[in-house]
Every structure is written in C-alpha cells, then in structure tokens.
Structure 1
Amino acid sequence: MSSPIFFDRDLSWLLFNERVLLEAGRSDLPLLERFRFLAIYSSNLDEFYRVRMPAVLALQRVAKKKKAPELFKKITDTISRQQEFFGQLLNEQLLPALDSRGYTLLYHQSIPAELAAAVQQYFYNDVAGLLRPVSLSDKKDFFPENNQLYLSVVAEDREKNEQHYLVNIPSETLPRFYKIKNKEIVFIIFLEDIIRYCLPSVFPGMNIISSSNIKITRDAELDLEDEYGEDMAEKLEKLLSKRDKGLATRVLYEPGISLRHLQQLISRFGLQAAAVVEGGRHHHLRDLAKLPVGGAGWEYEVWPAANTVLPEKTLLQSIEQQDILVNPPYESYETVLRFFNEAVIDPEVQEIYTTLYRVASDSRICQALISAAMNGKKVTVLVELKARFDEANNIRWAKRMKEAGVRILYSSNALKVHAKVALIKRLHPEKPLLGLLATGNLNEQTARFYTDHILLTSRQYLLEELNTLFEWLSKKKKPDPSDAPLFNHLLVAPFNLQQRFIALIDREIEAAKNDRPSGVLIKLNNLEEEVMINKLYEASQAGVEVRLVIRGICRLVPGVAGVSEGITVRRVVDRYLEHGRIFIFHNAGSPEVFMGSADWMNRNIYRRIEVCFPVEDAKAKETIQQLAEWQWADNSRGVQLNDQLQQQPVAGDAIVRAQEQSWLWLSGKQQ
C-alpha cells in the first residue's frame, strides 16, 4: 500500500444521516415513525452545523490548497441533495398519507378562513404574551438565541418608513403545533404560522410588507482551561451562558426573503462568516416527532422489555454467584437501577464509586447516590461536566449530590471521562467487590431507545483494576506514562487500550499468515483513528476476515484491491439507536469477546478515560456473539458501504432484522 486511504469523516457522517432519512421513506413503517425519522435527520443536521461546521468553515478560511474548498462544496452539495429528498418525502408521501387519515398539516399552505376565529382566540389567549419583537435599528444588546426560531418582519408605518423586526417564536414554551378540528378534518398548524397570521395585531397601524422564518445556528464548543479545579462547575456555567454568542455557523432562511433584508440581518448580527442556507418555509423540523396525532397503527408495536433477574436472593447476592448481563432496551433497565438501590440500603455496602457522563433529567441513579451519602456511606462520583449539550443538567445534579455529601470529582478539559463504570465496596474483607461495566450511559431515559450492554460482575481481577482506576482519578492527576496505573485485564484509554487492541489484531494477523483460521468482528458507533484503521488494513492484507458494523462515521475504505478487500463494512438503522461497542476476535476457535465505552476515534483513544472489558461468562459471551452476528447479517435494516462511500443492500436469502430477532430471543419468544 503506497499511502493510507481514508474517507472524509464529515462526508461519512452525512451518509449515516442520509441512511436515517431513508428510513422515513419506508412505506412499511407506521406513519408517525416515518415522521420521527425525518425529525431525527433534522435534529442530527442541526447538531452537525453546531459541532462540525465550525471546523469545516475554519478550514475553508485558512486553506490555501483546493482541498478545503472542494470538501466544503461536497459537504454543502450533499446536504442540499438530502434536503431536496427530505422535501420530496414530506410533500409527496407523508403529508398525503396524513391527509388520508383525516389530518391536514398546513405546510406551505395558508390558514383557511374558516379557522380564523379559533386561530385568533388561541393567539390572544396563549401566544401574544410571549412575543418580544425587536427592531433591527435598535442598538441595544440583543442577539437571536442559538438555534431558535424567529420571524423576520418588514413593515411600514403610516409615513411609509420601513422598519425591520425580529419576532421570537416561543416554541420552547408552547407546543410547536396547534390542532383544530373543523367538520371531519383535523387541521395542524405551525406556531409560527399562527403568529404570522396575527402579525397585524403585533404591529397595529403598520402595513406588513413581508415575513420570513429565520434560524441562526452557532458553534457549540466550550473552551475551558485545562485544570481540575473545584470551581469548574462555576466556570462552565459562565461559559454556557456565552455559548449562544459563539461563532455563527449557519443562517437558515425561508425562500422568498429579499436579498436586501437578508443582508440587513447578516450585517446587524455579524454573521458574515456563517454558511447562508436557503431552507424550506418551516425550520426546526425535528419537532415533527411531536406531531399531535396517534392511536392504533400510528407507531411501532410495543416490544415489552424482558425481566433479566427475578432472584429469590438480592441482586447483589446474585452477582456474587455469577455475572449478570443486561441488554436494554430488550431487557429491563430496572436491574441496573436495582444495583444502585440495593447498595443504598445494604448495611454491608460501605463505599460506592461511579462515573456519570449523561444522566437523566430526573435521574433515579443520582437520587439513589444522594440517599446513599445521607445514609452514611462514602460515595464518590466523577461527573463529566463537558458532555456536550448535557452540561447544564450534569451541573445541576453535581451540585445536588455535593450538597448531600457525595464527593464530586471533575475531569480535566484535556481528558474527559467517558467510561461507564461503577464499583461497590463492602464492609467485611471476605465480601467481594461488586461492579458494573457498560457500553452506555447510566441513564434510564436513553436506555429505552439506545441498544447497550451492561455487565454486573464480582470478578475480582477486573474490579481490583477498576478500583485502581478510581484511585487514580481521585488523585486528579494528568496522564503521565511514567506514572501510569497498571491494567492487565481491563483495556483503559489512554493507558493500554490501543496497545491491547493492536495486540489482539496482531494475533489474528499471525494466525492468517500461518494459514490458520482467523477473523475479527467489531461493532462501533464511529471509526476514525488512523492507527487502528491502518492495523485493520494490515489484517486484511494478511488474509484476516474483518467484519465491521459501524453506525456512524467510518473513515476506513473497504473493498480496495491490495488494501482492504478482506474488509466489509455494514451499518444498521432501525427503531432503536445502535450504541453498544463489541469486539470479537477468533482466537483459534476460542473467541475472545470484549465490550466497552470506546469508539475508535482520536478523542476516545487519546483524550478520554475509556474502559473496555472482557466478557468471560460463557452464557454472556454466547449472547453477545449472537447479537453481533445478527447485526452483521441484517438485510432488512442493514446496508453495506462500498469503496465509493455508497450504501448498498446486504445480500441474503432469508430476511434478517437484527433488532426484532434480538428482542424475540432475549424475551424468550423465540429460541
């Protein structure tokens, strides 16, 4: 191989989002679920503009070569093509299907005259008191809120003087949609269209010349000093208040706005560096997930979560005897909550340690940790304050726990803690350590629609190393190779995770070179880091069969002769978000199975505390291998990536839908 080849990470991610969009085009899905896939696509794209577009725009500004402008054009062309398809799906398929069920969403349509009285009544009763019109000629300190909806309104006073205003759309306070039944039809109206309809009441005595929907998206990154200081929460709170004044990355406008008035907005708020994008009449279409419709046949059939543990003993006693594997959302998350709840009241439990990355807004886990501290137990929690878009919620819980006596630790800016682990220590030395090792956040809300894997274990050689990690984190030390903790069983970034995975792949390479069976099956959310990709290329060239299930970003180029012809990449998009990371190595017919929190991205390998762990219980190992094989074989919701960054159907005689098969098997409905 003359030089490594890689897909661009942003184009790769946009392809994943396109796969989400394609689910909305499936006529066999319930109608409301199709609208929800449109909403997920729209929400993902908003995040792309907040998180990734700042880097793309910066590269565009400083690059002297053609590569950056060409990449920027590819990105914007890709988004434009997807947006066009989005509009076709909505206008040609989903809205007519909604009409056929007696619901009319007024999309690019005027409000009918027969609804005027009801619309005006709702406006005066509920909407008017939340409006705050601002004149662009007013020089007071005002800036449009980040990623919020506004109407750009141009009006003339009695002297024919033109005035330009921004009017907020209070969709964070009121429902985005208002529903009115008229005869046999239920009309659904966008909140901004109600405000637009009633603008003469907002600007009495003025002539409304034009009104256009506007949304400004800003950079979501927060720049913290690299320190562990106890006042980090306070510093972060100040930065959060400034996030909405970060670099503008996109100005999204409604077609038909005059160029002069658009330039007035750009000039008034200093948006010259942003991408100026023509959207549809309505923005913020992530709210399509909240359409006020429903009933039998509108949504997926319910897949009840199976109970994983119904012990006569306590859960903690059961973990002493055997590993317990929980696979939400197919299996109940109550088992995880019970792990913490039993620790609260068990008199043998002396200390509890855990990491929290993204917690539920009403987290029962945090409430249990508070109770444990108030019950006199030593509770230590490492809260990751810089979990993007969850910072405020994490700060709130950190303060509440700290007030209750929980010892709160914060990570450094240079090293986030992304591991999903917990450790219980008990009073008597003969009582073993108990632990939780997981692929996903300790969050009972996201556990309802993220597929993850949680191992509850009393394997002391794993938990003693986990204790070593917590001791190291408690010292608030920066990584130092000369003072690195020792891990022989756990794979912990940035200490030994990359080296151990490389060694595991090297073993498969050695087997292939000696004409022995070999193989790798890896399931990740994202694959970006070049050292690991190059190692997979090396494995392919040695004859190792490399099977990858990558949900999102994939920079590895599969199927290239002499480079990666032994590598196949697939992805699955279905009713649940695939989130679990699984690593399976052939190992001469005695597979080694690992799971954990780490994707193979630069940030996960070099700049985060991540924990991956071996799965050694025979039943748990069999379960994870089976779930991974179904993911690989999915030809219902799965696609395969080719060397041109295109998604193609997965071949197979019998239809395999991995998520349905997993639920049927784990719930005992199918052996």
Structure 2
Amino acid sequence: MDGDAVKAKRYINRELSWIAFNQRVLSLALQSKSPLLEQAKFSAIFSNNLDEFFMVRVASLIAQLESNSSRLSIDGRSAAEQLQAIHQQLGPLLNQQHHHLQHRLLPQLEQRGIGILDYPQLSRRQKDWLTSYFQAQIQPVLTATRLNTPGKPFPFISSLSLNLAVEIQGSDLGGNELIRLKLPTKNIPRWITLPVALHGERAGALHLCVPLEQVIRHNLRALLPGRRISSISLFRVTRDADLALQEEEAEDLMEAMQSSLRRRKAGGDVVRLELSGDTPRRVQQQLIAGMGVDSNWVQRVDGFLGLEDLMALQGVHAPDLKDRPFHGSTPAPLRDCQSPEEGRHARESIFTAIRRGDVLLHHPFDRFTSTVEEFIHQAACDPDVQAIKITLYRVSKDSPIIASLIAAAERGKQVLALVELKARFDEDNNIRWARQLERSGVHVVYGVIGLKTHTKIALVIRREREKGALRTYSHVGTGNYNSKTAALYTDLGLLSADADLGQDLISLFNYLTGFSKQSAYRKLLVAPTTLRERMLELIEREIEHARAGRRCGIKAKMNALVDQRLIDKLYEASTAGVPVELIVRGACSCTSGVAGLSEQIRIRSVVGRFLEHSRVFWFENDNAPQVWLGSADWMPRNLDRRVEAVVPIEQPDLVERLRELLTLYIEDSSAGWLLQADGRYSPPGQEKPGSSAQEQLMQSKR
C-alpha cells in the first residue's frame, strides 16, 4: 500500500468532513418534526455556512490549483482531487435543500398563513400596490450597468450580491445588450411584505410577502422604456474573501486592516456563480467569460438564490411555528448579587460570591446577561475596582459589555481592551468598536504581530476594603463576549478569584500588550507556547496508565479536530487500550473504530437547536482526573497561529459537573451523529431513543 493510500485510510479529509457537518445542519431543516420556521432558519444557516466555505476553503484550494502547488491534504489528496470531491458531494445536498423548500416547506408555511408569493399569483390590487412601491422605493435606487460593452472591461460584481441580468434586443452597438441590475437588498427587504388590507382571499394570513427580484422583474418596463427585453435572469457570485495582511510591514495595524478590507470589497477572484434555472445558455456563457469563473463552479438553481435571506422570516410573529423561547436562568451562586432593578438592591456583590468559590457557567442555560455581563457591569460601577482588562474577538452590534467598559473608563478606572481586528468577517465591526472605545478613554491594543488573539479572557483588579490589598477576579471562557451569540451557542466559562489564575492573566495580558515574552504560566495552558505540548503530554500519561493497568481515559469536546500530531497521539492511545470519547461538532480528520488504529476511539457530533461551541478536555489520570476548558480547538491554526488559553477546573464539585456534562453529550442518541469506521456518520435514532443533551439541559433550567 503506497503512502497516499495509507493516509486515506488513516485520516478523513477536512473539507469533506466539514461538508458532512453542514449536511447535519441541513438535516435539521429537513426534519418534519422541526417547527416550520425553524426549518427555514436551518436552511438559511446551511446556505450561510456554504457561502463562507466557498469564500475561504474552496477559494484556497482553487488558489493552490492555479499556482500548481504540490501541497497535499492530510489524507493525501491534491487540490484538484479535493475540488472534484467537493463538487460531487455538494450537488445532491443543494438539490435536497431546494426540493424541500419548494415542495414541502413553502407550501406548508402557506397553509399556516405565511406565504412567499410568486408575482403571477397576485391580484390586480396587490400588483398595483407593488407597482407604486416599486416606483417610490425601488426604482430611484436602481442603476442599470451594461455588462458587454465592446472594448470595455467586464464591470465588477460584488460578492454575495443578488443581480438581474437583463438581455435586450437590438443594441446600437450591435448584437444583444446585457444589462446588470444589482438588487438593493441592503436598503430594501428581500421579501416585500404586503399590507394586511391587501391579503384579499388570504384574509387571516399571518404574513404575505413577494420576492424583491420578482417585483423588479415585473416592473422593468418602467425602468427601461421602449427596450425589447428578451430574457431576465437572476445571478449571484461568491468571491475569495481571504485577507492577506502583512503585519510585520505595517506601521499602523488598523490602517493596514482597513486597506485589506478595501481590497476584499474590491473583489477577490470569483469562486462560484449561481444562476436561476431559466438563464439562457448564451447569457450564462457571457457571465462565465466576463468573470473568469470555472464552469465547474456554476450552479443553476430552480428556485430562490441567496437562501440565507430566509432568516428574515424569524421576524414573523408566529410562536406556534418556532421553538419555545428559552432564556436560561441565573446560577445559584450568583442569584443574590444581581444589579438593582425597580428599587430592589442586591444582597451582595458578585465579587463576594466569586470569593466563596469558583463558578462554572454554561451558556445559554446559564444566562449570559446575569453572569458575564453582570460581572463586567459591576466591575464598571464598583468604586473599589481599579482596572478591567478584556479580549474582544466578536462583539455584538449593541453590546452591553462595550457600554460597561466605556462607563468604567469614564469613571477613571484603568480599562484595557484587546480588540482582534483580524476576526474573519467581523473586521469592520471590530474597527468601529476599537475607535469608539479609544474615543472614550479605553486603552485599546491589537495583539501580537503574526498571531490572531482568539482567547476569551477578562480580568478585574479590585482593592479589598478589609485588607486594602489588590485582588484579582478572572473569567476564562470558550465563547465570545457577545450577547447575541451567547443566546445561540453553547459555551462554558469560569469565574474565579484564584490568585494564581489572576497572576497568569496579568502575565498573559502583558504578553498581549507587548510588555513581556511570557512562556510559562502557573495554571493556564497558552497557545502557541505551552498548549500543544502539554496536551500531547497528557495523552501520553493516559497511555502510560493503560500500559500499567491503571484507570485511564480521555474525553474531549471541541468544534474541530484536524491536527495530525494530536490525531496520531490519539491513535497511539487507542492501540494502548485507552478509551477515547470525543464530541466533535464540525470537521474531524480522526477516524473511529478502525481495526488496529482507532478501535478504542468513539466520536459523536451533536447538532441541535444551539450551535455547540464549548471546548473541554478530560484526562482520567488513574482516578485523579484533570479537566480543562478554553477557547482552542485541536487544529494547527489554534495551536500554532493563535493566542489561546485553557484553564484547569480544580474545584471538586465543578469537576463532577463537567463529568456529568460530558457523559450527557457522549450518550446523546437524539441529536448525536456517530462516526463509523467507514468515515460516514450514522444519524440519530439508530441507538436507544432519548431526549437530546440540549433538551435535558434546557429542562433543568426552565
């Protein structure tokens, strides 16, 4: 067996494993037991995920192919082989998505009073109203651009924009004229809502709307009077969105990032072209030639393009068609220390509660607002707090944490915010926040050159009145300081007054601000300095326990597992007899149950209502377990090219809680997909029935 064949058996391709993950997301849209608007939501998430996959992963492979790179994937495939496999696997999934939407979801939604109507279905009154709407709201912002002017370059088409290609007969310049109209979806809703008074025979419907592209299409003669239109087609392009940032050569990182963002907006290469199914072949060929897109990445769709816009239906008030709302609860140790409301006063400060013992947080089951946000809010208001330091990676647009940091700075506290400008697709948002924080007196830094700061840490330094000494209060988490995602993602965090942990965070912030070259820490494991090697050592220790006949075992939960060195070490553990239980949400290059390689490894992917985002690493250690949580996945980028931190959980009751939590996910046969030895995942329900881990956690917090 040659080397490539060995690799193919030993590892699972990262890109194909990610597609399998997105297929699991799509399965939630296809489930008839899911509420209808939840089906629409997961279909939108599937499409949004796929957009990012093309902009980053497919674009990277195309770049490798065009540069004649000899680089092979972990399973020994060339870029061309991976692109071919991606193409083969995506086609059936897209067909499934569109068939479900057109033949099941939209008809069922219409039966329940929510209709996305085709223009020809409309009554005369409805069409007249839309014509008036077009003339008043849409036509003034539309601009027609010719795509095929002889002797001139093909105009730029922005990534992910929806466009109409309008073919007009008899151009003055000879031949047919091809006009492009960009749909103004940033200013006008994709789905234009009909007034209730115009529901007509559908009186009593909850929500009726018409696609923007159809409103424009059927009113084009007002925009192009006297022109003979021979065809109208909808199209959408996806461009390479990678940012090449030369930090070492940049005197001003923010200026360099803004320049890179301008280059992204100016457009990378087109990596995908989506067309409505009625697009004439001659128009398709003009678009392909004009944008230089590979014909393998042209997708003709009989249905809507840009299905991520289905997310807008979440704004329809239809509680019977959505999941029951869930708001979580405040964990018991913090219930008496909430900020005053309506004249009530907290019995104690959050710092008093944390001094009594570490507090383990599990969002969204534990409310983010009454835990992490409350921690930062009280730090901003407490006159004894001297300083607040925090890392910001992805921040919500209307952020209470940002407001608290600004309030703290205005009260004269020392506030440091490390804002990661290189957080992909959040760069613009982070630049705006960085400027606002700086204007408010917050000391803003941008991290270590050459590394992305992905760690989620916050530090509060407070002068204790009893002794007059300074004391540290720490938060280390797996998720962003983001109110919106905290309600949608599952994440873990630790609030602690442990002095050694506080000193570690002081040292780590000094490293991040460039004032130290710290490489050793008391408790934290930090990438890229100590995390990888310590994880390898911990796995090796379990191997030694197994060989000596002592109790051993590894349990880990993460978003992705694609690091070859760690996978090889897990294989070594498996062959030594160490039981390995992994919960890996997304891409996973590690095999499971392969004879002589991974027989002791079992891998489950849990996909449910909330996006699984927490990372936990458990080592049995001969009945003296060590467990860690933090921001890092087992990927080369996290271990080698990012600043990450994971924290040990040492308080016995919290260790036991994490044991129970990991067991809950490992045994989840309702939302957990089990990886088989052939590299495929068996869907939930193949084992004993039961409620999902997320459902049980919600039930415990209602």
- Which of 357, 360, 367 lines up with 1:322 in the alignment? 357
Give a deviation string over 1:190-234, Cα, whole Å, max 9, x none: 111111111111111111111111111111111111339662112
How do 1:553-564 residues align onto structure 2 when only pairs under 5 Å count?
553-564=587-598
Please give the secondary structure, in 2, of the residue aligned with 1:432: strand
2:633 match: 599
How do 1:36-115 residues align onto structure 2 when only pairs under 5 Å count?
36-61=41-66, 62=68, 67-106=78-117, 110-112=120-122, 114=124, 115=126
Give a deviation string over 1:23-55, Cα, whole Å, max 9, x none: 111111111001111110011011111111111
- Which of 522, 526, 534 lines up with 1:500 in the alignment? 534
The root-mean-square deviation of aligned C-alpha atoms, in Å, is 2.2
- Which of 669, 672, 675 lines up with 1:635 in the alignment? 669
Q: Tell me how far apart the structure 2 counterparts of residues 229 and 410 of structure 1 sit (CA, whole Å).
A: 13
Q: Is the 8 A contact 2:519 2:530 kept in 1?
A: no
Give a deviation string over 1:349-401, Cα, whole Å, max 9, x none: 11211111111111111121122122111111111000001001100010111
1:10 match: 15
Q: Tell me how far apart the structure 1 counterparts of residues 251 and 613 of structure 2 sit (CA, whole Å).
A: 32
Q: Tell me how far apart the structure 2 counterparts of residues 129 and 364 of structure 1 sit (CA, whole Å).
A: 38
2:159 match: 146
The range that moved more, 189-198 or 137-146, is: 137-146
The range that moved more, 204-213 or 343-352, is: 343-352
1:490 match: 524
Normalised by the length of structure 1, the TM-score is: 0.94
Q: Partner letter of residue 146 of structure 1?
A: S
Task: Using the TM superposition, give the Cα deviation of residue 575 of structure 1 relative to its aligned residue in structure 2, in angstroms.
Answer: 0.7
Q: Is the 8 A contact 2:270 2:291 kept in 1?
A: no
The range that moved more, 402-411 or 72-81, is: 402-411
Cα separation, partners in 2 of 1:274 and 1:350, compared to 1, 3 Å = farther
Q: Is the 8 A contact 2:628 2:649 kept in 1?
A: yes
The runs of 5 or more residues in structure 1 that have no matched partner are 478-482
- Which of 109, 118, 135 lines up with 2:129 in the alignment? 118
Task: Using the TM superposition, give the Cα deviation of residue 266 of structure 1 relative to its aligned residue in structure 2, in angstroms.
Answer: 3.1
Is 2:467 the partner of 1:467?
no
The range that moved more, 129-138 or 396-405, is: 129-138
Give a deviation string over 1:111-156, Cα, whole Å, max 9, x none: 4453321221221222212211111145489411211100011112
Percent identity between the two aligned chains: 36
Task: Using the TM superposition, give the Cα deviation of residue 20 of structure 1 relative to its aligned residue in structure 2, in angstroms.
Answer: 0.4
- Which of 162, 165, 169 lines up with 2:179 in the alignment? 165
Please give the secondary structure, in 1, of the residue aligned with 2:181: strand
Is 2:429 the partner of 1:400?
no
Q: Tell me how far apart the structure 1 counterparts of residues 46 and 593 of structure 2 sit (CA, whole Å).
A: 28
How do 1:243-392 residues align onto structure 2 when only pairs under 5 Å count?
243-244=264-265, 245-271=267-293, 275-291=297-313, 293-308=316-331, 309-311=334-336, 312-334=347-369, 335-392=371-428
Q: Is the 8 A contact 2:507 2:518 kept in 1?
A: no
Is 2:279 the partner of 1:220?
no
Is 2:204 the partner of 1:192?
no
Q: Tell me how far apart the structure 2 counterparts of residues 287 and 474 of structure 1 sit (CA, whole Å).
A: 40
Task: Using the TM superposition, give the Cα deviation of residue 414 of structure 1 relative to its aligned residue in structure 2, in angstroms.
Answer: 2.0
Q: Tell me how far apart the structure 2 counterparts of residues 295 and 497 of structure 1 sit (CA, whole Å).
A: 47
Q: Partner letter of residue 200 of structure 1?
A: R
Cα separation, partners in 2 of 1:208 and 1:113, compared to 1, 3 Å = farther
2:343 match: none
Please give the secondary structure, in 1, of the residue aligned with 2:582: strand
Cα separation, partners in 2 of 1:591 and 1:46, compared to 1, 3 Å = same
Cα separation, partners in 2 of 1:642 and 1:196, compared to 1, 3 Å = same
Task: Using the TM superposition, give the Cα deviation of residue 272 of structure 1 relative to its aligned residue in structure 2, in angstroms.
Answer: 5.3
Please give the secondary structure, in 2, of the residue aligned with 1:261: helix
Q: Tell me how far apart the structure 1 counterparts of residues 171 and 692 of structure 2 sit (CA, whole Å).
A: 65
Number of aligned pairs?
Answer: 661
Cα separation, partners in 2 of 1:338 and 1:102, compared to 1, 3 Å = closer
Is 2:490 the partner of 1:451?
yes
Q: Tell me how far apart the structure 2 counterparts of residues 424 and 643 of structure 1 sit (CA, whole Å).
A: 48
Q: Tell me how far apart the structure 2 counterparts of residues 263 and 34 of structure 1 sit (CA, whole Å).
A: 35
Q: Tell me how far apart the structure 2 counterparts of residues 467 and 412 of structure 1 sit (CA, whole Å).
A: 16
1:235 match: 256
The range that moved more, 604-613 or 419-428, is: 419-428
Give a deviation string over 1:586-612, Cα, whole Å, max 9, x none: 122232211000001110000000000
Give a deviation string over 1:226-282, Cα, whole Å, max 9, x none: 339662112211221221211221111122322322232233344459832223342
Give a deviation string over 1:44-67, Cα, whole Å, max 9, x none: 011111111111212333257984
Q: Tell me how far apart the structure 2 counterparts of residues 274 and 356 of structure 1 sit (CA, whole Å).
A: 39
Q: Partner letter of residue 319 of structure 2?
A: A
Normalised by the length of structure 2, the TM-score is: 0.90
Q: Tell me how far apart the structure 2 counterparts of residues 342 and 102 of structure 1 sit (CA, whole Å).
A: 46
Task: Using the TM superposition, give the Cα deviation of residue 425 of structure 1 relative to its aligned residue in structure 2, in angstroms.
Answer: 1.7
